[in-house]
Every structure is written in structure tokens, then in C-alpha cells.
Structure 1
Amino acid sequence: MEHVHIPLLSLLVFLLNLSSLHFLSLADDYYINCGSHDNANLTTGQNFSGESKSGYSFSKSKAVKDINQLPDIAPLYKTARGFSKAFYYQFSITQNGTYLVRLHFLAFSSSSSSSSNNLSTAVFGVLDSKNFTLLNNFTAKNSTNYPVIKEFFVRIDITDSFRLYFIPQPSSFAFVNAIVLFLAPSDFIPENYISNLPLHTIYRLNVGGLPWNDPQGRNWETDDSHLSDPNSAKNANPESELNLNYLPEPVDGLFLSNYTFAPIQVYETAKHMSNSSSRPAISSNVTWFFSVSRKARHIVRAHFCDIIGQPGEIIFNLYSNGNFRKEISNISQYPAVPFYYDFMVNSSESELINITIKPKSESADAFLNGLEILEIVEGLAPIPTVRDSKKSIVAPVVGSVLGGLSLICVLIVGFVFGFRHRKAKKRVETSVWSPMPANGGGSSHGSALNLNYLGLKIAFNEIQSATNNFDTKLVIGKGGFGNVYRGTLLNGTKVAVKRAYKRHERGSGSGQGLPEFETEIIVLSKIRHRHLVSLIGYCNERSEMILVYEFMEKGTLRDHLYDSDVHRLSWKQRLEICTGAARGLHYLHTGAAGGIIHRDVKSTNILLDENHVAKVADFGLSRSGALDETHVSTNVKGTFGYLDPEYMMSEQLTEKSDVYSFGVVLLEVLSARPAIDPTLPREQMNLAEWGMLCQKRGVLEEIVDSPLKGQIDPNSLRKFGETVEKCLQDDACNRPTMEDVLWDLEYALQLQQTTKLKEAHEDSTNIDASSAAFSLPNVQRFPSLGSTRNGDDIREADLESTESEIFSQLKIGDAR
């Protein structure tokens, strides 16, 4: 027999290709029975593989088992993987897209010492690879033996090694019973939603029908418990079998559905008006109430299918929180056509969303078949350092010698890559500058810092007195850190008191704590500037974390851009506010001790005093001591929509990251729209991208806030647009410094003022309007009012001034 000699390299390539084909058949479709080698099936038809039979890996953790082994509990929920330290599951991804992530939790009693014998005591969070907080301070404890299932839609790219991190609270642990991850059909994602922000499914209702678990594992619940008035609606259940008419094209913003949007069982039932002679249809409605997270944005998908009338007969209006959303009518000449409508409910202080259907005419009807509510996940948190497991579970290739060799090749390549990756990661992590040690001794919170030397400590009793024992009537803001109260100190100084939530009070979006508390104290103790919010004191007694600031009478800049109850600012006022904020940031970057990067510049962190003087606030995420270096390596933190894309990609933080965020704020000021709005068309969703596109096309005036139309001098707008364009450059090296931004804004402001002076002193009948509008006056460059050579900043030697001279008023409407 002739011997065939195959070059070693070719053999390796062949084996690796064979292995990759094997993985491709398993990748992007994971159903994992955590903590067990056995397969497990659910009655809903989903099959979960044991951990030894799946193509993924996890870090150091422990398998735990239910010691009770109750017969009525599915085998899937009798095991879990848990640990007292952070651990992760890692998945290989072969296709870009939005993935459905479903996490199963059931708190059973365990014999494992790592679980303290009872999983119901576990308190932990879940992060994804992009730092998004999917769950925070989560506990699976409930009064039933039913599992808690959390579902998310997460954007994943093939360049990612996607991970889910399970991070226990101190002295606690984390666990998970089962994980589902697969590429979601595009139908699952709300129409026009292309943001990279994850979505968390909060509610999914089969309105008028029975609970249903569809083939994709989506659980559709009944709606009865959400009705505000059970007598206002009745179920529509046609007696004869329905033939649904699935049509291909959308009509007037109403999108036609198919069986993947919602199962046929959802469209075969509905709730509609329960009219009577004592309740005319025109004066009635059907309303559903839903408890949601405060300060979170939500996307709502309403499903319709007219199964109760003739085509075109029923016309009604859809509302949310009293706001008109859409006129609904059958969208074709055919009966029983399924369709849906997506819309976004913006964040508010309310913890309720109500959905209402109301007929347009007397004796008419209205109906709803299904409803889905998804929360937009915007919270970011640092990814912890996790000790990698020595064992990586890889899908076995069974049945051939070549398969075994290919597996060995993959393991070798994976080991080499993993080793190099871990070394690189270690280099980055060890260079991360951490200004505030968050553990150790020294205070009632375990802080290693001694803050007493700052002389800013205020007794808890005085703060209680200043806020009337934290009277809820004095609450002027709420955020992830806690409530903010209006108060008055014993010396008559008006203050804003930010009190951190206790652990049991924190919601799913609350992740701030001791590090941010200490950072803000240290940073604000070093700086004094007219355009930076001043810290009056703090309190860390009785397990409290309280910060006391000057009180800002006019609230946040965002309030004056979006709140219809607040007087809208003129263009001159907006320019003055932007200029003031730029001065504050310029001082942070150059005049403060060692240089400070704010890292969370946004419209809610720019506050206004009684004279609309702008002050930059909220320094809990700030980094200092970095500006004498090229950059600082750090986990990405900030607010989505304002984050510097270069910082997000490289994790290299510089002061130019603040410049980018400030550029987004400038666009926000000009347009009075949020940084991210998923309800807008694709090219307009991201304000930075849309603003840059309009600027390059020369049509920036198209996004100007309507009350400003006709107010803005064209030269002022042109200079403002050029400034925005500089700030939003992708390459940080091409962005200006805050000093340059400050000068450009001062120039835009003087151009605006010069035009007004001309209008006041010249006879308009003798002016050529076109030439006056576009002629640039000779404007000299002013010295930077934010530099350390002027009186805006207050040095340590200047602190002999009285408190009333140093501190004006503060309100924090969107506290951390």
C-alpha cells in the first residue's frame, strides 16, 4: 500500500476546520442544565443539556444540589452552579445579532457550604460582557416553588467572547439553575429598535386568554390582575375556529404580524369593551396598570387582531399614561388580520405604566389581544476580576479519531490564546487606577479611607433636623444612589442632602455605593469653582452614606430642555449655560489637583442656580491624577449615548472622553431631544450620529428645538455646529481641549449678542437682512474664564470666605 505523507501544517488546518464545523453546529444555541452532567427536559418541550455536553466554558465555581429533592420540582431546578465569589459562563458566538438570554432561578436548600444551605439568601447581580447590569441586588426568594425566569435581549458581535458574570454581594453568593442563549428571530425585537442597549422583558400578556408557553419558550401570562376595573372589559373567545389572515406589508405604522411575533393563541383571544346602558361606550375605556422601575425607559408592543367585528367597523385610540399613541383600526378588508404597534414610554418618577384603549365614537368597541413591555437596560457597572477555571468544557467530538485529534488541536490553540489573553488582561487590570479602596477597615462602611481630616463631617442629628427627619415632602430628586432632600442647616444655609439607599431599599437599577461616595468626597474637597457644585459636608454615621451640597434652585439642565412645566430657555441662556459648564470642565481638566476626568458628563449632571448659572455636578465616577499620563486603563463607566466610542472600545480614558460627552450635551441643548431615542428612524436614533450627519450636510437648523426657531443668529449657529463637530470626532486626538471648546462657545455667544445689539441700534429698514445675517464681526478672543488665572476658582487660601459667599443654591433632580 502506498504511504501518503500529509504535511503537519495542512493536517492541523484540516483538523481545525473539522472542529470548527462541529462547533458551528452547536454554537449560538445553548440550553444549559447548570451544575449537572445530566440532560433535563421541561414539559414545555425545551431540552437542556448537562454541562459536560455543551460547547462553552465557565470559571471557578461549584455545582450545588437540592437536598430535599421534592418530586413535584422539575429536575432542571434541582441543581445549580454557584459561588461565593464572582464567576462567569463564556460562550462562543459565530453570528452577529441580537440574542435572547434567559436565566432560570429556583432557590432550593443545598448541602454545599458555598450556598449557606439555602439559595433563598443569595443576593447578587448579573453583568454581560459590555458592562451592562442585567440584574442588580437580585434575590430568587419567593413564596412558591415556581422558578424565577429573567429574559433579556442582548446585542452580541462575533468579535466578542460573550460572558455572563454572576457577582455576589459581600458575604453572600450567586447561583443560576439554567441558561438559555440563542440568536433571536428579528420578529422578537421591537420595530426600529437598533440600539446596542439590552432589553429586559418585564411583562408578556395573552390578553383575554389563558397562560401559554410558546415554542420559543416565551411565557404569556393572563392579564386579569392588571385590569384597573374588571367590569370594564370582557373576554372575546370566538366559538368557531378562526382562520387568521397573515398579510405581508405594514399599513400606517401598524405592522402586520405572523406566528413568530406572537403565537396564534394570543391572536385568537382578546379583551374588549363591556358596555351597558349605564355606561355609554364613548365615556368608558379599558385600562391595564403595570408596576415598572422608576427612571427607566420602556418599549411597549401592543398586539391586535379584530376577532369581534367586521373589517373596518371598529376604530379606537391607544393611550399610555394618558398620552395618545395611535388610532387603531383594522388595516385591511380581510377579517382577523394580526398586527402590532411598538412605542416607547420615556423615563419618569412614576413606578407605573398604564395602557388604555378607548372607542372613538358612541356604541363603538375597542380591543386588545396581547401586550409586551420591555425595559431598556442602561445601567453600567465594572466587570470584576474573575479567577479562570483550569477546566474548560468543550463539546466533544465523538465517533472518529480525527474528531479526537481536532479537539486536542482546539484545546492547544485555546490554551495558547487564553494564556496570552490572560497575560494581556492582567497587564491592563494591574494598571487600572483605583482612587478609592472599597474595602478594609476605618469606617462604619468598611472604608480604608480616613476622611475626618477634611473637616467636612456633619453630624447625623443635624442632617435629620435640616430635612425634618427626611420628610418625603422634601424629596426633590431620586436616583440610583438614593433620595435627594431639600434642607436648611442650623446656620441658615440651604442645602441638598443626598442620602444613599440602604441595601434592602435599592432597586434593580441601583448599583452605586461606597466607592462613588468616597470618590465624590475626595474630589469635591479638592476643588472650588464657580461652575462646579460645592460639597458642604458628608455623614457616615450609623451605616449612613450622606452627601450635603449647595442647593441649586433651578434644577438640572435636562429639566429645562424636556419638562413642559419648566420655562424653556432662550438661545442666549443656553449658550451661557454651555459656556459655564465648559469653564467648570476646563478647570477640572487643568486647574484641579492633578487633573480630573469627570467621566459622566450629561445634561442631568449640569445644574442651574437661581440665576441660571451652570454648575457641573456628580463626581462619583471621576478619575484624578491621570492627565499627566497619556491615558488611564479602566472599566468603562458612564451613560449610554454620551460615552466616547473610542473609550468604550479601548477602555483608555482621557480628558477627551469628557469632550465627546460634552459635544452630545451641546446637541441636546440645541435640539431638546435625548441622546438615544429608539422610537425615531434608524439614522436619527443616536443624537450624536444624527447631529453630525446634519452638520456635514449643512442642515443643522433642521434639528433646532422649535421654540428657538428664528432666535438663533446664523453665524452663532454655524460656530456652534463647528464646535459640536470638533467635539464628536471619532479619534480623540482630533478633538479640541475644553479650553478650545470654551473659547468657541464664547465666540458663538458674542456673535449672538452682536446681532441683538445691531437690531437694537440700527434702523432695520436700512439694513440688507441677508448681508447682516451672514457677515462675521471682528470678535477678539477672550481669555478663558475657567483658567486658574481668574477668580472663578476658589483656592484653598480663599476658603476664609463665609459659607454664604461660597455656596449658592443646589437642586439635584437626577441624583446618582
Structure 2
Amino acid sequence: MESLHNHKIHIPLFSLFFLLLHFSSLHFLSLAYAQPDKYFVNCGSKADVNLNDRVFTADSSSGFLCSDSEKSRAIESTNQSRNLYQTARIFYNQSHYEFTIAENGTYIVRLHFLTFSSSVNLSSALFDVLAFPTVSNFGFKLLNNFTAKNSSNSALIEEFFLAIGPGSLKLYFTPKGSSFAFVNAIEVFRAPLKFSPQNYSSSFPLVLRTTYRVNVGGQNITPDNDRIWRKWEQDDIYLSNSNSSEDSRPSSQTLIRQSVESDGFVGADNDFVAPDLVYLTAKVMTDGTNGLSKPFNITWSFNVSADARHLVRVHFCDIIGPPGNLVFNLYSNGNFIKKVGGPDFDFSSLYSPFYYDFLRSNGSEFINISIGPSIDTTTNNSFLNGLEMLEIIEGPALSNPPASVCNVKGPNKIKVGLVVGSVIGGLSLICILIVGILFGLKYRTAKRVETSEWSPMPAFGGGSTHSRLTDGTIIGSPMNYLNLGLKISFAELQQATNNFDTKLLIGEGGFGNVYRGTLLNGRNVAVKRGKRDEQGSGQGLPEFQTEIMVLSQIRHRHLVSLIGYCDERSEMILVYEFMEKGSLRDHLYNSNLPPLSWKQRLEICIGAARGLHYLHRGAAGGIIHRDVKSTNILLDENHVAKVADFGLSRSGPLDETHVSTNVKGTFGYLDPEYIMSQQLTEKSDVYAFGVVLLEVLCARPAIDTMLPRDEMNLAEWGMLCKKKGFLEQIVDSSIKNQIDPSSFRNFSETAEKCLQEDANDRPTMGDVLWDLEYAFQLQQTAKHREPHEDSTANASSAFVLPNVQRFPSVSSTINIDDLALPGGDELDTTEVEVFSLLRVGDAR
């Protein structure tokens, strides 16, 4: 178990040496620390604001902003209170802020975003943020296709570490297409720690983006309790198994900070490394009263970009004791990383904080961090106090920064070179226009409008209509088996979407944007167009191929139907039937739509269960969906449920077998056993469907960080309520008076069976389907029903049956009436709710 497996990560030793050497030097504190270059900007404001001992200067008078009145403007919130997030600067064209940098060093850059209520819908902004330090001729794309949508209505703060030399730092805000960019506040200041991810003389310095900063075993730590204004969040929502650990008793002892370094471990000799509050709390292993028969590793799971490398910092401080008695191991995704503790360990004394850094690059969308007892000890315990994870943004990424003219107040100075350059540039432009017009008149064809984000005929496509789908394989199947009869020309899709008009944009996801369209035959469709950067790197191609392979071979009333696809040149486009009522999630919470009745909810669950049961048992070879969630269950005009989004699906025989694979899916729905073992089975879909059942019952999301710690995770909270006998107290108030007690009991027991931690204890989807049909029958035959409970005709309206008994054979059957029916559905392969607006009239 302790053999080193990190040799699987192919990283140049020289780069690794530099990376870890400089990252480990973060603990050194400049004793005479001062911030020679520090900038705090209140964007879009005419007044300064004080926040946590920082004075944010109004950008209207700071001189940092390089833009003119035609490119940007300031807006204010309808709430006139004075704080940092009541104003913003919006940009209609590329503009930038420029900051003077006097000294070498690593600088922290924080960008603040809040979509407050104003005259402009800030949540519709879509833009990139670029950074160009003059230490090199290359810049970096800090944020790509960024949108500041946030369901919690709190500010989004993006934090970066940049190695910068003397000169300037330019931060460009670049709107995408016809959209705009915005920012509420900017921080740029030199880190108080010697933090250099790579030496300054390198042609391609690295940039780090903070993805997670977690106070393990403790409460949230706000920026005003951190010396450099960092936010530390609670760890509970990242725990794979909450029964494996418990919070230690917070310590009130004074920390013994030491400037010591040994075998990669570094003493946290000052509170710039991490506040005392981080080291005075911890997660420790449970004492066995939780029902676990043997020591159990504590595991935290974090969703990350599969294509990026990450620096991971783990913080330790023994506040448990006795000193030198604990020995445990640190793992990442099951691979042994480091042994911690022991009598000869240099950090064995109590209340002495230290940390350890390592590089992680595993090609998975999840990084799991685990701690567990070593075989070298008889003390079955381990602890962790804090964790930080930073994504490495590697260069070179961008060429020289674009030229721009700053509208900075000051004396007007006209330079001869500028005048001459302007004249020559103007004459050149006129010549180019004349040549262009003559060329256009000679070769003019039908009118064609350029798309806002991509060129319809990308240069790197080479003008070829060659399809990449016949070149590769997916899930072990040759791509030449694709149904080529589903191919739709790019020209037709251009016409269907008015050349991908942003006014028809109805959703955005990691794979691409979704547009409402109308084909030549008058059929309404949803068109998902892959992003160019995805296509160039090949990142989106596997999902594109998988979706086509799965949906071109199956047909079911309760599965989305693929209308067609386009693979001309560099394009990856999927076309689905337009779904009138949007996603199930839209009708459960955070929506102004009328609530679904209990009968409707049962019918929708039954329809989705039928679709999943067909995938598992009726489709050739068996298919595991792998991303079951309420946003991937879509509703047509009659509220018929259809399961969508097969980009992460895996195929293969499912009887008593598993598929070893990197963990993919969505937080809150992930099977704990799958996270731990990385072995995927159909029971992982069953677990996720159990979470959906609780969503339907309680009308709340799978993860809600705004709730108290015990209630954040719906699956854990729902099962705790069920165990204690008060599950009915968290049922959606709009349906409480509609549910028959017998139907409720059967439905809740079904959800409980789906959410068993051991996959072997969970039912099959066939069993789940039978139980839901029975819950529906109990509801239908109830003596007392509310007049408003009746719903529109639906997929399960034929379930009005006489009293029935449970026959085991029912679970293994497929309803023939459900097969080979035209279906419609939409698409989304990320956590972003692409289909939340797939309803007529809601296009933006």
C-alpha cells in the first residue's frame, strides 16, 4: 500500500525540481515586510471604500484604467448602501487596467465579481481575463469564457499568484462576441512570502490559480481573520464518507511556530502561511462507534480540471497527542504520497504547525486526498488541519499584448511618431478596404454573417469536409459504425440558428453553447456547438463521440433522442429535440415556475427510472449513464421525463462487473464507493438517482453551502432525517398535503435503499422502477385526494392498476411501449445547468 506510485505522472524532473523548490520556499517571511506595490481598486466607483483595513480606491480617479467612454462605463446597484460590491465597471470592448511593478516578486491578484441588481443584467456577461506582465513577452488567460453567475448571491473572488518583474502588469477584460465584461474590484499586491513557482528569468513563467482553500475540522474563516485576506471554507462538503471522521475539539493553546525544514516538511513559522485558526482545529478518525469494523481512511474529494496539473499543500498540527505517538500515511487518488509522524519525526511536538507540498497530475476530474493509519503503528488515528489546491496555468499562452490607447487625465502631448503612424495606418486601411470591396464584388456569393465567437469557416479546418469521427474509437467501438444518416450540414445549422445568433442562446456548458433553432422542416431543436479551444485540444471530442455512439444506437420514450450531428471541418455540433418544459430542476427550486404536484413528480421519477433501467438492461451490452442528476432529466410539453446527457457514459456488460475509470460526475450525486475505488458500476447510477428522489421530495439542491453544516449534503441530511423519523418535516411544503402516507413511506424507503453506502445493498434500477410504480399506485388508490393533485396526461398515466403484489420478475422487464418512440431532449456535460432555460420564450 505504501509503495510509491507517483512514477505514473510524467513530468520533467527539472521543471518538477524548480516547481517544488520554489513552492516550498513559501514559508520564508520577509522580516521587514511591506507592500511596495499594492493596489486595491473599487471599480466603477467615484468614492473610496475601506474593507478589512484595505482602502479600495475609485478607479475613476486612480489612473489605472485604460479605456474610453465608448468602451466602458460605470454602473451602480439599485441598493445604495456604501460597500465594495455596489458598483462595477463594465466593458463593451477589450480594455485593461495597468499597474506599475517596481520590484521582483510573486504577486497576488484577486478579481471580485458580484452580479448585483442594476440596469444591466450582469449575470449574462461572458468574457475572458488576460494578464500580461512585462517579465516576458507572453501573457496568460486567467479566466476563459467566464461568467459570474452564482446561485448563492455572494461575490465570486478569483485569486492568482503571478511571478512579476519590474515594469507593469496589464489585466485585460475581453468580452466574448456581442456580450460584455465587468469587474467590481481588483487587488494586486506583493505576497509577503517568497513565492516563486518558477524563476523570473524563465521565458515561460507559471501562474497559479487558487481552486480550493479549506479549513479542515473548523469553521469558515473570513478574510478579516487572515493576514493576507484569504477565505478558508469548511471541509464537510468534500468528505467522501462523513462517518469516517469527526472534528477534533478546538484547541486554545498557543502555537509553537518553528522555522524548520526536513524531508519536504516545512515549519509554518508565521501566520502568513495559515492563520492560527487553521492549525487549532482538525479532522480526526472516529473511535469506532460509527459502526466501522476496521480503520477507515478519511478522504476528501475535489472536482478539478482533468487537463491541468495542481500544487497541493496539506497543513498539519498535532493538537491530539500524546506527542510522537501518531504515524499515518498521506494518499492522493489511492497513491501513497508521504508518511507523517513517528518518534523520529522532526515535527512530533504538540502545537507545532507544519505543511507539505506535492504536485498532482492524474488526468482525472477529481483529486482525492486521503489520510489513514500506517502499518508501522498500533495507534489507529490520523489528522489533517488544512488543505490548499492551486491549478497551474502554464505558458506560453498568448503573444504580445494588444495595443491600446489609455484615456488617462493629463496634459495632451502630441508625438510626431504617433501622427506619422496614424497617417500611414489610415492610408493602409483605406487601401485594404478598396481591395476588399473589389474582391468582394468579383467573388460575391450569398450573404454570410460572421458568428460572434467563432468563425463559421475556421482557418485551421483547411476547408476539408473530412470527418474526424471515422478516425478514432470510443468505448472500444470503431467510430465508422456511426449512423451517418444523422449528419446535418453546417450550412443548415447556420440557417437554423440565424448563424448562431446570441439572441437564440439558451444555455452554456463546458462543452459549448446551446442555441434554439428551427430546421428546414420546421422542427424546433436545441443545437449544442463545441467550443473552438475544446476542439483544438481534443478535450471535447470523446464526449462528442460518446454522445453520438450511445444515442444513435438506442431509442426509448424516456431517453433523449439525437436529431443529428455535424462534424465538418473543426466543428463538433450535436442537435436534439427542443424540450418545452426544461429540466426537472427548473420545476423544483430557484424558479418562478408553478410547483409540480406530487402525482406529476411520481410520474417524472417513474419515467426517468424507465429510461435508466433500459440503459442498464435493455441497451446492447449495458450502458452506465454516469451523470444522473435533476438537470439531466428533461421534460417535454406534457411533462414526460427523458434522461439526457450521455457524454460521460460508459458501456460494457454490467452483470456482476465493474469498469475501472477516473472518477467523473457531479458533486452531491457521486457514489461514495465509486469515489474511493474508482470502480464504476450501474449501482453508481442508482445512488445518484436516490439523490434525485430526495430532490423531488424536498425541493432543494443536492449540495447547498448556505445551509448549516449538517444539512449541506442532501443525501446525508435526508438519510439522517429518515433514520430519526422526521423526514416528513423537510418535505416540500407545496406538496405536503397531497401525499398519501403509504405512498410517502414507499417512496422514502426507495430513496433510502438507493443511497446505501455499500453498492451491493442497493437495488437495481428495475427494482427502483417497480417500487416507484407501486408508490404511484398507492397514491392513485388513496381514499382522500386533493382536487388540485390531478396533473396533465403523462408518461405514467396508464399506471391506474388494481391492487397488485410484488413479483420479482417485474424488475427485469422492459416496457415495449417505451421503445422506438420519438424522443426529444437537450444536452449538457458539465455542472453548469445548460438546460435551465430550454423553454419556449426564455431565450436570451
TM-score relative to the length of structure 1: 0.49
TM-score relative to the length of structure 2: 0.47
